[in-house]
Amino acid sequence: MKIVKYLFLLILLAAIAATVFIATQEGKYDIKKERIIGVPRTVLYNYINDYRNWEYVGVLTGNDTTAVFTYSDNTSGQGAVSNWKVGGTQGRVQTTKVIENDSIIQKAIIDKQPSDISWGFSEAKDGTKVSVRLKGELTFQDKAYAILNGGVQEKLESVLDQGLVNLNKFLVHELSTYDVEVKGLVGKTGVFYLKQTSKATMGDMNKKASAMLARLTAFTKTNNIVTNGAPFTLLKSLGSNKDTISFSVCVPIKDEIFTTPGSEFEGGKLEPFTALKTTLKGDYSHISKAINAARKHINAKALHENTGGNYVEVFTRNITQTKKPSEWMTDIYIPIGPTTLPPVDPATLVPAVTGTGAPSGAIRPSQGSTTPVVRPSTTARPATSTATPAAKPSSGTTNPKPAGSNAPSAKPATTTPKPAAKPATSTPATTTAKPSGTGTASAQSKPRTTPTTTPAN
């Protein structure tokens, strides 16, 4: 019994010693790896920033091809999330902060153990220098596992190093492999679509379009909207990589949809048009080469580019079908034909306002006018005329003509008219008109001038 008792005490002491040894081991790890990747900094940053590309890189899963990944609707930028499962190991990583083309900060949880991941990108002679840093703490169980199966530090270093090797090999091959083919003139068919509009430079448009397309796709699935082909972007011009342009990411749909003005997503219709079709096979970063090839073809064939039409880029084969950029396919449609001008609304004619007021240009008497109102009798003719007779007067009668007046016929005479011409054959009968003032006027005597005050214009 004493032997058994001593053995038990010995085992207990050994267990206590092992526990103390494990507990006193370094519980924190800080691993940093660097490598030169032979691609431009913007390309590398965008690739790491999008979790959909991590399946082929294996940054945290090594070379295990059995890993199953799931993603949030937004797969890049702040707030993006990726989950994976390899055998009995589960992992989750979330982007918490990004500085474009400079750094990415992430939070990772691997088997319920949190850790911090930071990426840095800087220019290098042969490409881009990328550094990845992984920091975290080990639990007691992790420390025990590390002692029995090798240090955790060494294991994580191996995983990160292999991930960077895979990244360089994959990107250099996949991004450098591309092909451009000018197909020629085609008739681009029309289609209804659901779109979201934004602005970006040509160089950054693809990154922004990916996030927009993810939201559009989720919207169509949530609302059971039937799609009708590959997604595309709609542009009014094709500028250089530094030009800021307005573009719309569109999902073709079977039936037309009407949305309220100001909605995040809007319905529309692409009308058929004649276009020069050019196909880019490879990563979208080579889109400028495809556009240049199309423009050279237009100049060589003396085609007329319709700068007022729609420019369309169809993502015929994209990241949703394959994660390999060398297998992506983008069809570019440049409108050809007479320039289409935007419709102009016809001018609206405003009718003139009518009422009791005098028309424009009418003569208005000034306040305080002393011009007498002459009301001739039905059988009398006024001594003076305020308008040119429409017809020649009858024989033997001559109407007096105001002398030296160039005023319009509607303006009353202000000077003494010439005496009436003497009739050739007879003397007109005496006609008397009673004005509202005093005195009489006779045709046998010199016509009397009615005193007037010139009305104001």
Say if residue 103's pLDDT is above 90.
Answer: yes
Give the span between the Cα atoms of 136 and 28, in whole angstroms.
6
The pLDDT, as a whole number, for residue 121 is: 95
Q: What is the pLDDT of residue 241?
A: 61
pLDDT: is 193 or 202 the higher one?
193
Rg over alpha carbons for the chain, rounded to the nearest Å, is 46
The confidence score (pLDDT) of residue 145 equals: 66
Lowest mean pLDDT among 73-82, 176-185, 204-213, 308-317: 204-213
Classify 361 in phi/psi space as left (phi over 0), alpha (psi -120 to 50) or beta.
Answer: left
Report d(CA 174, CA 434) in Å as an integer.
110
Please report the pLDDT score of residue 400 as a whole number: 43
Mean pLDDT of 175-183: 93
pLDDT of residue 42: 86
19 or 433: whose pLDDT is higher? 19
The predicted structure's pLDDT at residue 311: 94
Q: How far apart are CA 137 and CA 114, in angstroms?
A: 8
Q: How many residues does the chain have?
A: 457
Reading the block at residue 242, the tokens are: 């530094």
pLDDT band per the 50, 70, 90 thresholds, residue 146: low
Report whether 129 contacts 113 (CB < 8 A): no
What is the per-residue pLDDT for 192?
Answer: 95
DSSP 437: S
Average pLDDT over residues 174-194: 93
Domain with CATH 3.30.530.20 in the chain: 26-176
Q: What is the structure's pLDDT at 433?
A: 40
- For the ranges 60-69, 215-224, 231-240, the lowest mean pLDDT is seen at 60-69
Laid out side by side, the sheet with 127-137 consists of: 28-37, 127-137, 113-124, 103-110, 89-99, 81-86, 68-71
* Greatest mean pLDDT range, 84-88, 204-208, 285-289, 361-365: 285-289
Q: How confident is the model at residue 295 (pLDDT cuts 50, 70, 90)?
A: very high
Q: What is the pLDDT of residue 162?
A: 83
Residue 160 above 90 pLDDT?
no
> Quick one: pLDDT at residue 411?
45
Pick the CATH number of 180-335 from 2.40.50.140, 3.30.470.20, 3.40.50.300, 3.20.80.10: 3.20.80.10
Find, among 110, 102, 63, 113, the residue nearest to 82 by Cα. Answer: 110
- Computed over every residue of the chain, the mean pLDDT equals 75
Among 93-107, 125-139, 332-346, 381-395, which stretch is predicted with the lowest mean pLDDT?
Answer: 381-395
Per-residue pLDDT band at 409 (split at 50, 70, 90):
very low
Q: What is the pLDDT of residues 410-436, one digit of tens each?
A: 444 444 444 444 444 444 444 444 444
In the structure encoding, which two tokens stand for residue 360, read together?
């424009």
Mean pLDDT (whole number) for 397-408: 42
To the nearest whole percent, how much of the chain has pLDDT over 70? 67
Q: What are the start and end residues of each CATH 3.20.80.10 domain in the chain?
A: 180-335
The 8-class DSSP code of residue 371 comes to P
Lowest-confidence pick of 129-138, 178-187, 249-258, 267-276: 129-138
In angstroms, the Cα distances linking 197 to 56, 213, 225, 291, 340 are 31, 11, 19, 22, 22
Q: Is 311 or 423 the better-scoring residue by pLDDT?
A: 311
pLDDT in tens, 324-380: 889 999 999 999 988 655 555 554 444 544 444 444 444 344 444 444 434 444 444
Q: Domain 26-176 belongs to what architecture?
A: 2-Layer Sandwich (3.30)
pLDDT digits (tens, 9 = 90+) for 24-70: 666 677 889 999 998 888 888 988 998 888 887 777 776 666 788 89
Predicted local confidence at residue 419, as pLDDT: 46
Cα atoms in the Cβ-side hemisphere of radius 13 Å centred on 289: 15
Per-residue pLDDT at 288 exceeds 80: yes
* Residues 66, 25: Cα–Cα separation, whole Å: 33
Pairing of the two strands 311-317 and 232-235 = antiparallel
Per-residue pLDDT band at 277 (split at 50, 70, 90): very high
The pLDDT > 90 percentage for the chain reads 30
pLDDT tens digits, 196-210: 999 888 777 877 888
According to the model, what pLDDT value does residue 7 have? 80
User: 305: closest CA among 203, 188, 185?
Assistant: 185
Least reliable range by pLDDT among 118-127, 235-244, 274-283: 235-244
Indicate the SS3 state at residue 21. Answer: helix
The amino acid occupying position 310 is N
